[in-house]
Structure 1
Amino acid sequence: MNAPHLFVLAVDQRPWLTQALWGHTGTATPDQRAAATRAKHVVLDGLLAAVDAGVPRETAGLLVDDELGPGVAERARAAGVTVSVPLERAGLDVYEDAPADVAAYLAHHTPDLAKVLVRYNPEGDADANALQRRRLAATARAVHEAGSRFLFELLVPPTPQQRDADGWAEEIRPGLTLRAMEEIVADVPVDVWKLESLGPEQAYADAVALAATHDATCLLLGAGAPADRVDDWLTRAARSGFAGFAVGRSIWWDAVRGLLAGETDHAAAVATVAARYRHFVDVFREASPHDEPLTATGRSSA
């Protein structure tokens, strides 16, 4: 590889996970927390199985919370993969830190990457956008003072006027994403952008070029989409210079749901996660102009 890749398996879902499994977004019961923790350890086991099968360890990463995944980040770090932890209070339209004492949290976890998820539309509420930038500037300072890199997951929700517009995802959102990046980085130092699909390849290339102006790189998120759609997005992103991906539910949801429902066992769930993660790694590497896909033995085909 001419440039380092990063393939993150994202399993930091909290309200989404409790809603999907138990129909609520409140505090998990002790039994529910135990089940979620079990599931997130299985996801890590799948990542490590993929590394054992040949995914380069230096490119493998895990994004996980300690609310529903205690001990998972510690195991990942011990295994030598890149570790990222979330800092946002999940499910809010306007960003808030969680926990409130970000510096202490980072000092305890010492992540390679500290991640925020932010909903930001440059044509949305200007006051809310300005408030978010102020909050995120302070969060970014805390992250850098802790010696971590700042991973910014940018979601661009449509305004009411945009919601029903034709071509939202392919034609309208990509331009708004680039505008949002420009507005945010004027106040907030970002090291890695985690972005939604951007439609035409030129939009991906434009995002990479914009990120390069502040020495940042770009990762593609999966949005829980079917594998064939993620394959298409990954191909465009890799061709355009993205550094990798941060994909979660598209990889592990079927395995986790089956495991917790008693429809599959631990070994099968781990194998499913490993195979799907490795599939996306291979799709990306095959499309990258500077890389080669893995063979069945885990070695580059070059």
Structure 2
Amino acid sequence: MLINNKTINQHTIQEIITVIKLKKELNTISDEFVQNQVYEYVTKNTKAIQFLTKPKSKEYKLVVKEVRAQLRKVYGLFRSGEETKKRKELVDTLRGVSSQKQKESIKQILETHSSTQERIAIYEELYEKIFALTKKPKIIIDLGSGINPFSIPYMKLQNVNYYAYDISQEEIDSLNTFFTFLHAKNKNFKGNAEILDILHFAKLPKADICFLFKMTDVLDRGKGHKTTEEMVLRIPAKYIVISFATRTMSGKKMTAPRRNWMEWMCTRLGFTYAILEFPNEIFYVVKK
């Protein structure tokens, strides 16, 4: 790895990745994503570069601490190992049971994550309203998907290709198992889940719709909205559905849930948008 004209041995980078991932709540994140976070940190804190080969130094330990803190912000806040384990067990039981039992298991899977749990009551209405604006899609991209793809049955789409991207290998494995299950039930469904750091992607498949649910804070990190704008411009989809929470972390209703910056950005870029409001989340359906 080349950082500020200094070459860092890949073995050195791998060692610090391993140390960072010793924390249980971070150990399923892909090495590539952790490496990108290390790169970003030492690029901004160049004095830390010389200490990457000195694991006993306080500077090395600070790199580990700071990168872990950033990873928790973008990944670990709403996920836990127990929930991941429960999801895997539920996914593995989908085959060979009745349709009713399958529906119950999928609902239980969605209940293991705060955002999808909140959406269970609105999923059918949400997708119905989205597709009324976009028409039924043939190809969907889900960036920073988490477990949202488990809501595919609520979409009531018979013929669709679904591409999901996340940074957790265990999440990706469960999604691909689920996609195989859906394909076995309906040969017109095709799904694929892959590891992807959405801050550093090269190419995505062209799509009718891209879901970007509750991801702008991860993208922008409190530093304006330039990264979200760049992402919106790069995503090869006709429509992008971007969502935001309408309640604070404490559960209090926001006084102004609409994002003015989002609306100004769309107007400036010449994009049209529609707004779908629900009790806990607001969705912007943006047409590029």
Shorter-chain TM-score range: 0.3 to 0.5
Normalising to structure 2: TM-score of the pair? 0.34
Comparing both chains, which one has the higher relative contact order based on Cα–Cα distances under 8 Å and sequence gaps of 6 or more? 1
Normalising to structure 1: TM-score of the pair? 0.33
